[in-house]
Structures are given as C-alpha cells and as structure tokens.
Amino acid sequence: MSTSEASRQQPQTPARPAAAAIEAVVPPASAVGDPPPVAAARRGGGGGGVGGVETIKPLHQRRRLQVPRPVRRSIGPVAALLLWWLLSATGVLSAATLASPVEVFRQGWDLTADGKLGSAIWVSTQRVLEGFAIGAVAGTALAVVAGLFRLGEDVVDSTMGMLRALPWVGLIPLFIIWFGIGETPKVALVVIAVTFPLYFNIYAGIRGVDAQLVEAGTVLGLGRWGQIRHIVLPGALPGALVGLRYALGSAWLALVFAEQINATNGIGYLMNNAEQFFETDVIVVCLLVYAVLGLVTDLLVRLCTTYLLSWRATFDGA
C-alpha cells in the first residue's frame, strides 16, 4: 500500500473553526469582565463558591459602610463635650476656671424655669432683627447703586471701602456720645455689622454677572431694566445669599459687644451680672445661647439658599 493510500484510509480529525481557536487564547467578552476564580486555601469552607472555590466580587459589588451624615457632623461636638466633662470630672479643669457641663445644664434649666433666659433671648432677638432689617436695606440699596451705575460706583464704593477698615467695635464710645446709653447704640452697632457684608457680596455678585448673558439678553430684545430684572439680579443672588449668612453671623457677634453698653436686659445683661459674681456656668449658658441662635439663623438662610438656588448644579463631596 502506497503512502498516499494509507493517508487516505486514516481517519482525519475535523479542523477546529477559527473562532474556536481564538477563544482558546482570548476568552469571550463576557468572560473578560468576570473575575477569575481563586481556589480557596481552606478546604471544606464553601463561602459562596462552587466546588470549594471562592470567587472575588467586583469592586462595584462590594458594599462600603456608610455612616449617616448627621452622625458624622455630630462627632466633633460630642467629642468636645465628652472631653470637657472628662477634664471637669478629673479635676484638671476647676470649677473656678470653667463650670462642668452638668453645672451648665443645671443652671440653664434654672434660668429657663424662672423665665429669665426666655426674656433675655426675646430682647436680644428683637435687637438683632431691628438692626438686621435696617442694615439689610442699607447694604442692598448701596450695592445696587454701586453695581448698576458707574457714577454710583465712583461715589459709593470708595467710601464703603474706607469705612470697612474702621473697627466697628471701636465705634461704641462714639455711638454712646451720639445716641446715649439706650437701645439706639446697640441697634446701630448691629446695623454697621450687617451693612458691610451684604454690600460687598451683592456688589461683587452684580459685577460678576457673565457678560455673555447680558449680550444674549440684548440680542433677545431685553432693555436695560429687563436685563437687570431677568439677568443681573438673578445672577447676583448667590452672592447676596452668601452675604446674608455673613451678615447674620456678624449681627450676633456685634450684639455680644452691644449688650455690654449699660444693658438692663438681654443675654449680655445676664453675662455682665455673672461676670461680677464669677458665675462661669451662667456665662457659658449665655455663650451657648448666642451660638444656638446664630446656628438657627444660619440654618434658615441655608434652607432659603437651597430653595432659591435649586436650579443650580451643586457638587456633593464624598
């Protein structure tokens, strides 16, 4: 039998298709994305694998422990409170230097029960609201005049820049000479503290409006007042809300100094009396009330910001 005849009589294996040959080297796309199985080092432990083989989950399937944001935000204050209590309980922080949190809480409860704290909060809040209303109107009006008109900018902005350099706490003696020792100098100090943050933030917001939006308004046929209403003022709103937050914080800060001017009521009045008798617990209660009131007003402004600027995209950091 010749060699050619023998080769014809032998059974020949069918040739593998080209696709099968490629799959032998490069796995299909569905297999590329799947993690390779890893043999479990320990025997007998299933652990979700098949046949004693444990698989590694992809990164997007691994769940990360998420702590609620209110819990994260409360970690710092709670830690500070615990440290304060620990220092007081161990005697490192004496009662003459600073009362313990327990004594502060007890004193705050007593002042609330006899009505002194509530009356003081009401009087101080009235002073802040009155001074804030006057300062907000003045700061907004000056910012609009300086931001929209070239002559207003030349007249107002330089003057406001000069007056801003004056320490408003140093104006207290002058206010006493001008207005006496009644309510007027206290409210006037709050007005000064509110006017400047609002003015500079609103002015910067007006001047920072995108010029392309103004040009687009002109193309669409908007006149000057239409541009101011529909483009300039909405564009300045974020800066105005930032200035509002600074202004409210400055208002409460100014009130701390203002109520030192021969006050007969208010939170500052309680602090003055406590200073004379070295009652650190009362002083801390008053400071905490100032802080809480400032936090509440800041929260209200943030809620207004969320509502008024809901159209803006915000970055939420991890």
β-bridge pairing 38-39 and 53-54: antiparallel
Is 50 exceeded by the pLDDT of residue 228? yes
Cβ–Cβ < 8 Å for 247, 139: yes
What's the average model confidence in pLDDT over 283-303?
88
Which one is predicted more confidently, 278 or 25? Answer: 278
**Residues 133-175: tens digit of each pLDDT:** 999 999 999 998 988 888 888 889 888 888 888 887 788 888 8
Strand partners, 224: none
SS3 of the chain: helix, strand, coil, percent, to 5: 70, 0, 30
What span, in angstroms and rounded, lies between the C-alpha atoms of 190 and 195? 9
Q: Among the listed ranges 20-24, 128-132, 206-210, 236-240, which one has the minimum average pLDDT value?
A: 20-24
pLDDT reading at 227 higher than 80: no
Q: What pLDDT, on a 0 to 100 scale, did the predictor assign at position 109?
A: 92
101-308 maps to which CATH number?
1.10.3720.10
**Angle between helical axes of 116-148 and 280-308 (0-180°, round to 10):** 40
Sign of the four-CA dihedral 179, 185, 187, 189: positive
Mean pLDDT score of the chain, rounded to an integer? Answer: 77
> How much is the pTM?
0.69
